[in-house]
Amino acid sequence: MKLVKTTNQISRLRFRSERKLRILSAWVVALLTCVACASRHELPPKAELQAQIESMREAVAEKVRDAPRAARLTKAIDGYETELLSFGTAFKTFRVKLLTLNSRSDATRAEFDALADAFARERIATRTRLIKLHLEMIAATTGDEWKGLAKHERAVLSVPPEY
Amino acid sequence: MLMALLLGYLLLGASSSGGPWFLGGGTYHQLSKEIDKLEPAKDKRKEIDRTLKEIEAEGAKLKSERSKLAKDTLAALENHDTPAERFQELAHRADAINTDANKSLLDLRFTLRSELSESQWRQLFPPPPVAPSP
């Protein structure tokens, strides 16, 4: 009887210790996640974009078990990365040119229009290619798989463009 | 809001920054303070204030349109069933907003330019530190 009581007490103590350990582990994980998030937000935009793209690739590996479709997605994500890095460079150049032109007191309207039109053509071409890549990702996923990937695409598109 | 970020620049270009691009990232209030330092003539200052108010109103209008466009675009991207035509509609809408905003902001840029002397303009909008390659 006494032995059973002692065994129960040991079990309860073990359960409490395990519970405490689980709570502690959850706190540690939460803390590490916060630290990781904080350091990610401190990354320069180019590194931030690459980190978000990498997270999307990891999510594909985790959520899409069908190898041919996973390969299609990875190829589309590679294309996304190339397009966005290239757009970042084009945007930075455009911004400097725009501010340089604006600083000139004798700048003409035609000069502004020419600069804006050239950048718009480049931006619209990039946007068209990105929509195509997005639709390729949609075609390579099921609705449920996309639910797990869409938040990563949103995060990629939330990075500031000044690389 | 997200539209100030990459998605916004892809859709709206420079006007996505939420305000007039010629402020170089600054706000209307910062611009007003900088203009105070230039000590323009009183009658000119009234004209300038009117222009600044128009710039502010244009910025607010753009912010509102941008916000609605962002919401619709993100919903289209997240939905697995969005047809390709929907993205074309959103792109056309973005281009129309962009064309209008660029025209209005350029008009206001040239109005402000006419209200300041050459030297005041140079002090207010110095060239960026890095010159672009030709």
The mean pLDDT of chain A is 82
Other Cβ atoms less than 10 A from the Cβ of A88: the count is 20
Whether pLDDT at B85 is above 50: yes
Residues of B in contact with A76 (CB under 8 A): none
pTM given for the model: 0.78
In chain A, residues with a C-beta closer than 8 Å to the C-beta of B6 are 49, 84, 87, 156-161
B127: contact with A, CB 8 A cutoff: yes
More confident residue, A4 or A107: A107
Counting one residue from A and one from B, how many pairs have CB atoms under 8 Å apart?
108
Q: What is the pLDDT of residues A81-117, one digit of tens each?
A: 999 999 988 988 998 999 999 999 999 999 999 999 9
Handedness of CA A118, A109, B102, A154 (dihedral sign): positive
Which has the higher per-residue pLDDT, B14 or B53? B53
- Strands (DSSP E) contained in A70-154 are none
3-state secondary structure of A111: helix
* Contact (CB, 8 A) for A147 and A80: no
Domain residue spans in chain B? 41-124
Please say if the pLDDT value at position A69 is more than 50: yes
For residues B20-25, average pLDDT: 66
Window A:87-106, CB contacts with B under 8 Å: 87, 91, 93-100, 102-103, 105
Chain B CB contacts of A121 below 8 Å = none
Dihedral, B20, B23, B29, B34 alpha carbons, nearest 10: -150
> Which residue is listed with tokens 């959850």?
A26
Higher pLDDT, A13 or B97: B97
CA pair distance A16, A20, nearest whole angstrom: 6
* A145 half-sphere exposure, CB direction, 13 A CA radius: 18
| pLDDT digits 0-9 by tens, A11-49 | 555 555 555 554 444 444 444 433 444 444 578 888 999
Using a CB-CB cut-off of 8 Å, the residues of chain B touching A131 are: 84, 87, 91
Q: What is the DSSP letter of B134?
A: -
CA A2 to chain CA mean position, Å:
59
What is the pLDDT confidence band of residue B44, given thresholds at 50, 70 and 90?
confident
Residue A148 in contact with partner chain B when CB distance is under 8 A: no
Distance CA A161, CA A157 (A): 9
B11 shares contact with chain A (CB less than 8 Å): yes
